[in-house]
Amino acid sequence: MTVQVLAITSDLFLQSRITEVSKSLGASAKLVTTEEDLLRQANSNHPNLVILDLTASEYDPFSCAQKLKAMASSPKILGIFPHIRADLKLKAEKVMIDYIVPNSGFLKTLKSLLEKEVRTR
């Protein structure tokens, strides 16, 4: 079974990096831009990892995290934030986001998490 990544972002650079890293490790990436699509895809596809941009203004990443955590087969959640916004890290910890990393460490963390998932399959 293929490792599945689901990400919600309208940032084209971030979308391309997620797709690139996922494909390079044999995982599939699904990109959405709305909370509704995120929850629908998470319910139907049961991704291994969901990526949330904690600075998003188009959706509430913390509400999304809570809804994802309430699902029967809850995925792991990776939240990314600018290192100068420690307040976002604290909010993410409160809603039990699994991995909270600054933007500067995002790609390294994503690669590491996906390598681990692929190895255990």
Secondary structure of residue 4 in the 3-state scheme: strand
pLDDT at 39: 98
pLDDT at 1: 78
What string of pLDDT tens digits covers the 121 residues of the chain?
Answer: 799 999 999 889 999 999 999 999 999 999 999 999 999 999 999 999 999 999 999 999 999 999 999 998 899 999 999 999 999 999 999 999 999 999 999 999 999 999 999 998 8
Evaluate the CA torsion angle 30, 34, 38, 44 in order and state its sign.
negative
Instruction: Name the CATH code of domain 4-119 (choices 3.20.20.100, 1.20.1440.230, 3.40.50.2300, 3.40.190.10).
Output: 3.40.50.2300
**DSSP, residue by residue, 31-73:** EESSHHHHHHHHHHH--SEEEEETT-SSS-HHHHHHHHHTSTT
pLDDT at 18: 98
pLDDT at 10: 87
Cβ(79)–Cβ(100) below 8 Å: yes
pTM, 2 dp: 0.96
Q: Cα separations (Å) of 12 from 16, 49, 98?
A: 6, 19, 24
